[in-house]
């Protein structure tokens, strides 16, 4: 069985962090984001090939995951000749595949969905397609999906206006598709699965089934949601590595150097090779990446420092995300919502 991960997006909402780091390998603590999706696919032993559908900086992603053997899976890669949209990308990645259903994930989805249960429902209903839905408070930014009492999809409206909202279940970006149903997607053409393929299934009265999932789900494609995903893992709302059965704790790598007099407040995460100097304070919901340096008297609160970032003495960083190899000078103040791209330099006493 084949699974396709749609990982070709440029991650524009996360810029400048994604200028040199494609979104699939943006770190969640000490692991690339896409590794969490791969862990989900491993729930289904039948899946013997995971296809990464790429477009933006594909070599960077392949360098991280290789052939998948280190993760206990088999990974192959397809690179779109040009952006083909979600439907076109699926068609291109599937190639001549026939037989068992295809499992498809959008590249932004961070969830603990029960994938074997979704596949079982798809087979039980002999569906052409099964879509995972999740309830949200504000569905206007997503694809709104209406179902009947039997769980059949009856309407699919992408990003509705406020007066078009009739339910709270949205497209969660997880699908099980019969390979022969992809015939309705034109080859080598920009085509949207949300605006073209799914509405055609409804119009043709095909068996198009919804699986409503009410557990953890988040789209990590914005800085706010990226930070929230870390907080949710630290708090145990999403049970995932490295905080499984360790919610609320301060997790400090044995290979980190924490000097006497440093203050470490949980939940937080300090990776291998990091140094926290005397008098520095790592406050709750902070992530200190590998080989970071936090100087004397510096304070990091609710921020994520990617690897090899240097924070000088007396700096205060609150609610920010820094890329790799950043340098924050002495007594700098970096405030809520700040994003710093790789190798950014904030000079001494600056305020952002």
Domain borders along the chain are 2-219, 248-346
* pLDDT for 159 beyond 70: no
Q: What is the pLDDT of residue 253?
A: 97
Q: What is the pLDDT of residue 160?
A: 66
Q: What is the pLDDT of residue 158?
A: 66
Cα 197 to Cα 199: distance, rounded to the nearest angstrom: 6
Could you tell me what percent of the chain has a pLDDT over 70?
Answer: 97
**Same CATH fold, 248-346 and 2-219?**
no
* pLDDT for 140 beyond 80: no
Contacts of 120 (CB under 8 A, 6+ apart): none
Q: What is the pLDDT of residue 221?
A: 87
Pick from 121, 336, 124: nearest CA to 223: 336
Pick from 63, 58, 62, 38: nearest CA to 50: 38
The SS3 assignment for 346 reads strand
- pLDDT band for 146, please (50, 70, 90 cuts): confident
Q: What is the pLDDT of residues 175-226, one digit of tens each?
A: 999 999 998 998 888 998 888 899 899 989 999 999 999 999 998 889 999 9
Mean pLDDT of 271-292: 98
Q: Which token pair is 138? A: 């504000």
What's the CATH number for 2-219? 3.90.550.10
What is the model's pTM?
0.90
Compute the residue count for the chain. 352
CB 111 within 8 A of CB 172: yes
* pLDDT for 162 beyond 80: no
CB 302 within 8 A of CB 338: no
CA distances to 16, 136, 233, 243, 248 from 222, in Å: 12, 16, 17, 22, 24
Q: Which CATH architecture has domain 248-346?
A: 3 Solenoid (2.160)
Q: 302 versus 151: which is more confidently predicted?
A: 302
Torsion sign over Cα 227, 326, 247, 110: positive
* pLDDT for 161 beyond 80: no
Contacts of 246 (CB under 8 A, 6+ apart): none
Q: What is the pLDDT of residue 138?
A: 75
Cα 207 to Cα 180: distance, rounded to the nearest angstrom: 13
Q: What is the pLDDT of residue 149?
A: 84
């Amino acid at each position: 069985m084949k699974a396709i991960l749609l990982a070709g997006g440029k991650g524009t909402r996360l810029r400048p962090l994604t200028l040199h780091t494609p979104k699939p390998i943006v770190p969640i603590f000490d692991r690339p984001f896409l590794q969490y999706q791969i862990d989900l696919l491993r729930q289904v032993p039948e899946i013997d090939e995971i296809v990464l559908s790429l477009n933006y900086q594909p070599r960077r992603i392949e360098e991280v995951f290789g052939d998948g053997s280190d993760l206990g899976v088999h990974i192959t890669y397809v690179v779109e000749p040009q952006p083909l949209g979600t439907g076109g990308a699926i068609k291109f990645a599937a190639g001549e595949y026939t037989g068992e259903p295809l499992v498809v994930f959008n590249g932004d989805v961070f969830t603990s969905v029960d994938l074997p249960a979704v596949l079982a429902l798809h087979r039980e209903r002999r569906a052409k397609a099964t879509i995972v839905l999740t309830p949200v408070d504000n569905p206007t930014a997503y694809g709104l999906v209406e179902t009947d009492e039997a769980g059949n999809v009856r309407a699919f409206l992408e990003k509705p206006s406020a007066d078009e909202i009739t339910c709270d279940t949205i497209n969660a970006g997880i699908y099980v598709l019969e390979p022969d149903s992809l015939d309705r997607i034109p080859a080598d053409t920009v085509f949207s699965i949300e605006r073209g393929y799914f509405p055609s299934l409804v119009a043709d009265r095909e068996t198009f089934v919804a699986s409503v999932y009410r557990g953890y789900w988040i789209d990590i494609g914005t800085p706010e949601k990226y930070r929230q995903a870390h907080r949710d893992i630290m708090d145990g709302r999403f049970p995932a590595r490295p905080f499984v059965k360790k919610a609320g704790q301060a997790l400090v790598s044995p290979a980190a150097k924490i000097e006497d007099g440093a203050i470490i407040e949980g939940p937080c995460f300090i990776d291998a090779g990091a140094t926290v100097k005397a008098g520095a304070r790592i406050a709750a919901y902070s992530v200190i990446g590998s080989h970071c340096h936090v100087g004397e008297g510096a304070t990091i609160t609710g921020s994520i420092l990617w690897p090899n970032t240097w924070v000088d003495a007396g700096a205060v960083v609150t609610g920010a995300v820094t890329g790799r190899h950043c340098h924050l000078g002495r007594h700098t103040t970096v405030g809520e919502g700040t994003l710093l791209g790789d190798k950014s330099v904030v000079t001494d006493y600056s305020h952002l």
